[in-house]
């Protein structure tokens, strides 16, 4: 049986503060918030692929005591979504990098 090791890495801490659903909706649709989420998720998944981790923690939502993590089975779909985001924002270098990571996963 394979023993799973705990990997220590710097996780992005987020505090989500809102007074009503509209504020939460505004936050989630803001470019600044989306840039942080997509950029940090990309870097975290890239590190996990490079280091052959089975899962990676993406974010710690500190005021809700929630840690968002993704397993390696979810990497391809997450990278696909992140790539679409970067394409819309014309960050083609990152799209190319994601394409290479996707090929690396399939090997």
> Is a pLDDT exceeding 50 seen at residue 81?
yes
The angle subtended at Cα 80 by Cα 75 and Cα 85, nearest 5°, is 125
DSSP annotation string for 52-100:
T-SEEEEEEEGGGTEEEEEEGGGHHHHHHHHHHHHHHTT-HHHHHHHHH
The predicted model gives 90-99 an average pLDDT of 97
Residue 38 CA to residue 77 CA, distance in Å, equals 13
Q: What is the pLDDT of residue 10?
A: 87
Q: What is the pLDDT of residue 106?
A: 81
User: Residue 1 — very low, low, confident or very high, per pLDDT cuts 50/70/90?
Assistant: very low
* pLDDT at 90 exceeding the cut of 70: yes
pLDDT in tens, 25-69: 999 999 999 999 999 999 999 999 999 999 999 999 999 999 999
User: 14 pLDDT exceeds 70?
Assistant: yes
């Amino acid at each position: 049986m394979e023993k799973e090791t705990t990997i220590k890495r710097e996780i992005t801490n987020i505090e989500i503060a809102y007074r009503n659903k509209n504020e939460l909706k505004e936050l989630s649709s803001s470019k600044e918030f989306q840039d942080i989420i997509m950029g940090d998720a990309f870097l975290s998944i890239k590190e996990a692929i490079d280091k052959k981790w089975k899962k990676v923690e993406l974010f710690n939502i500190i005021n809700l005591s929630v840690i968002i993590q993704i397993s390696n089975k979810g990497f391809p779909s997450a990278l696909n979504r992140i790539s679409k985001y970067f394409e819309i924002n014309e960050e083609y270098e990152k799209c190319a990098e994601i394409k290479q990571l996707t090929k690396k996963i399939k090997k």
